Structure formats: C-alpha cells, structure tokens
C-alpha cells in the first residue's frame, strides 16, 4: 500500500483555486511545471476522460467543483491521486493525495525513482498554485 500526501495553505478562496486547478493538463495550463514530464487531458476535465501522464495512461475519476479533483490510475496504482480543497479562515488548504496498491513495474519503480520525481512535481505545482493565486507572473 502506498500513501503520499502534500498540503499547502493558499491565501485564496476555493473558487479561485478551482479555476487554476481546472487548467491542469489543458492548452492553458498554469500549474504543471517545466521539466515535470508530459501531462495532458486531451478530452478535457470530465469524469472518464483520458489522462496522458508521461508513459502512463489513466482516467479522470471525480470532478467536484471547488472541492475535489481525482484521477483513477488503474493497474499501476489501484486507488489514484488528486486534489481536495478545504476552506479555512483566510484561504484554502490544498491537499494532494496519492494512495492505493501498486502493481507491475510501478511496485518496484515507486520507491526507487517515481516517488522522488512525484514529490518534486507536486511541490512545484503547489508553488505555482500559490504564485498564480496571488496574481504573480513569475515563470513556472
């Protein structure tokens, strides 16, 4: 079983965070970091839509505006990963969780390579989210 969690408090309302999250994987993605590999949602952000994540292929699981964005990862990871938004005084706690049972090569590669890369990419996404929510135009 794998469980990985990252959190960041963002001084913005869930509505603003959601606006930014919905750009991920699209033509006007404002969050995915340079050097973070390939992440595309060719059919948009809707339940069941395909996800192209480097060599992995999976589906969008849940899209609950201003609350939850979840990706069902299939055989590589039985649970999936995604973001939840938790309103708090003065902003929003943004949490990214990855959880499930690993399968195939993912079982071996997660602790050796993928976890470190995943952690770096998620932290950069959260950095970009904070920056974009504040209205800064700094580079990704």
| Residue 106, pLDDT score | 87
| CATH code assigned to 2-134 | 3.30.530.20
Q: What mean pLDDT do residues 54-73 have?
A: 96
- On the question of pLDDT at 46 being above 80, the answer is yes
Measured distance CA(85)–CA(65) in Å, rounded: 10
Helices (H) and strands (E) in the chain, counts: 3, 7
Between the alpha carbon of residue 86 and those of residues 13, 14, 61, 70, 114, the distances in Å are: 10, 8, 19, 15, 27
Residue 137 has what pLDDT? 45
Question: How many Å separate Cα 99 from the centre of its chain?
Answer: 13
Mean local confidence (pLDDT), 12-20: 97
């Amino acid at each position: 079983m794998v469980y990985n969690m990252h959190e960041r408090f963002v001084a913005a309302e869930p509505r603003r965070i959601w606006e930014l999250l919905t750009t991920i994987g699209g033509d006007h993605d404002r969050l995915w970091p340079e050097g973070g590999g390939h992440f595309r949602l060719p059919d948009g952000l809707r339940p069941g839509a395909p996800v192209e994540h480097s060599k992995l292929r999976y589906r969008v699981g849940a899209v609950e505006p201003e609350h939850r964005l979840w990706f069902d990862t299939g055989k590589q990871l039985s649970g999936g990963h995604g973001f939840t938004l938790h309103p708090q005084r003065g902003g929003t706690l943004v949490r990214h969780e990855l959880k499930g049972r690993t399968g195939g090569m993912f079982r071996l590669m997660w602790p050796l390579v993928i976890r470190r890369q995943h952690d770096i990419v998620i932290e950069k996404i959260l950095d970009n989210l904070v920056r974009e929510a504040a209205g800064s135009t700094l580079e990704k």
